[in-house]
């Protein structure tokens, strides 16, 4: 086996943008704003990234962090994707880039306090000390006030990056002190083009994946590349179509939990291996080389981070399945209302058309609501099986549902 070359072939090809931005399909305005800021001597110290789920707000924050820490000399090329700083930010192991994501419904005030204490330190190796806070909308008012103090009196080399669905989701006092970066859901076509041009994927497959993922770049890439992922998604979207009796609903909930657990495990496997490769490369080691004792703590730190992430991955995958189900029922609704919109599940058009004929649009709207309710309950740490069973009973055909008590909280 030959040692991997230090720079992958696709990064040597000339590209218009620094590689760090390459995943932000259809976000030209944000990329221009951020790459200009990264090229400046003193970027603003607080940023608010907003955009609907799947628009890539935390990816944008990470790309920006990469560009800020990048070691290349030419400011226009920051975010080169291959220097030590870029690789470690991408691998999640850069000592001066902390990403805070909460497992809980809201951030605990202590989590925010710990972060602020860390923010007082000077960067250890990077140019900036960067804090990325995912789901900044999940802060209690008390936690927000603690954070506000830190943002009002920023240590000299600290940069905050907060992510939230919309500017209205964070308190105005925070919002007014941040530069805002608005992301939007990219067009299906922009995502498909990215997969063809950057990943060399087949155009038809890329288009299917872009549609099915509802323009979520990471998910689209995964669907296009991994057949197992495609078949697990197929089984998720077919589940509601198979619910004919109460026992089916219970079985469906169980199967949904199992499929998403498999998907989370398989997805973590690929990502973990990739991070390990990136880390080894950044340490100057070949993939199959023994890690010297003095470098082992780097590997250990990565492994710990990966373990902590697994729990969250199961939750996120389940959430993704909820988005897939919402997309499915939106397709059904589009067919019932006779709009000529392109379907998320265009490949299931015939099947969905016959399903659509068997129910009313009102019933479909109720089912979309049931999926949203389940999604909210899952985020609130209700046991998955419980939340999903309640949802699945709303998929029962009308004649069965109507014999049941009307209320399933
Ligand atoms: Zn770089």
| pLDDT, tens digit (0-9, with 9 covering 90-100), for 332-387 | 999 999 998 899 999 999 999 999 999 999 999 999 999 999 999 998 878 999 99
A 10 A CB-CB count for 45 gives: 17
Q: Is the pLDDT of residue 404 over 80?
A: no
CA of 313 to the centre of ligand 1 (A): 28
Q: Give the residue-averaged pLDDT of 65-71.
A: 96
Per-residue pLDDT tens digits for 114-154: 888 888 888 988 999 999 998 898 888 888 888 998 888 88
Residue 401: pLDDT band with limits 50, 70, 90: low
- CA 85 to ligand 1 centroid distance, Å: 6
Distance 67 CA to ligand 1 centre (A): 7
Burial per residue of 160-183, b for 16 or more beta-carbon CB atoms within 10 angstroms, e otherwise: bbbbbbeeebbbeebbebbeebbb
**Percent of the chain beyond pLDDT 70?**
92
The more confident residue out of 174 and 17 is: 174
CA of 35 to the centre of ligand 1 (A): 13
Let me know if 190 is exposed, middle or buried by CB neighbors in 10 A (0-12, 13-18, 19+).
Answer: middle
74 Cα: distance to centroid of ligand 1 (angstroms) = 10
The whole-angstrom separation of Cα 273 and Cα 296 is 16
**Cα-to-centroid distance, 276 and ligand 1 (Å):** 18
- Per-residue confidence (pLDDT) for residue 402, from 0 to 100: 52
Tell me, yes or no, if the pTM score tops 0.85: no
Statement: residue 405 has pLDDT above 60 = no
Instruction: Report whether pLDDT(33) > 80.
Output: yes
pLDDT in tens, 263-316: 888 878 877 888 888 888 888 888 888 889 988 998 888 888 787 777 777 888
pLDDT digits (tens, 9 = 90+) for 15-28: 457 889 988 888 99
Distance (Å) from CA 349 to ligand 1 centroid? 45
């Amino acid at each position: 086996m030959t040692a991997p070359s230090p720079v992958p072939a696709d990064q040597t090809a000339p590209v218009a943008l620094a590689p760090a931005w390459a995943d932000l399909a259809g976000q030209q305005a944000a990329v221009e704003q951020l790459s200009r800021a990264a090229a400046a001597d003193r970027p603003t110290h607080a940023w608010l990234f907003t955009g609907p789920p799947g628009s890539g707000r935390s990816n944008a924050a990470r790309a920006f962090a990469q560009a800020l820490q990048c070691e290349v000399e030419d400011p226009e090329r920051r975010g080169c994707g291959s220097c030590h700083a870029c690789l470690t930010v991408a691998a999640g192991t850069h000592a001066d880039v902390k990403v805070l994501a909460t497992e809980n419904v809201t951030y605990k005030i202590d989590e925010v306090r710990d972060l602020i204490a860390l923010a007082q330190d000077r960067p250890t190796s990077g140019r900036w000390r960067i804090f990325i806070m995912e789901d900044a909308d999940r802060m209690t008012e008390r936690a927000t006030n603690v954070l506000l103090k830190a943002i009002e009196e920023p240590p000299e080399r600290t940069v905050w990056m907060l992510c939230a669905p919309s500017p209205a989701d964070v308190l105005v006092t925070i919002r007014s002190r941040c530069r805002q970066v608005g992301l939007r859901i990219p067009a299906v076509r922009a995502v498909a083009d990215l997969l063809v041009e950057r990943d060399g994927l087949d155009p038809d497959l890329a288009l299917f994946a872009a549609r099915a993922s509802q323009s979520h770049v990471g998910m689209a890439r995964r669907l296009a590349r991994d057949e197992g992922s495609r078949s697990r998604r197929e089984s998720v979207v077919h589940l509601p179509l198979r619910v004919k009796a109460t026992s089916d609903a219970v079985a469906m909930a169980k199967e949904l939990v199992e499929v998403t657990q498999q998907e989370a495990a398989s997805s973590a496997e690929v990502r973990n291996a990739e991070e390990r490769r990136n880390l080894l490369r950044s340490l100057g080691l070949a993939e199959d080389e023994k890690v010297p004792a003095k470098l082992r703590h780097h590997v250990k730190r990565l492994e710990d981070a990966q373990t902590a992430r697994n729990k969250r991955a199961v939750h996120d995958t389940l959430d993704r399945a909820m988005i897939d189900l919402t997309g499915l029922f939106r397709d059904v609704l589009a067919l019932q209302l006779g709009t000529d919109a392109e379907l998320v599940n265009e490949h299931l058009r015939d099947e969905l058309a016959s399903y659509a004929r068997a129910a009313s649009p009102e019933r479909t709207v109720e089912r979309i609501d049931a999926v949203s309710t389940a999604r909210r309950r899952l985020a609130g740490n209700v046991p998955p099986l419980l939340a999903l069973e309640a949802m699945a009973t709303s998929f029962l055909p009308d004649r069965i549902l109507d014999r049941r008590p009307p209320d399933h909280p």
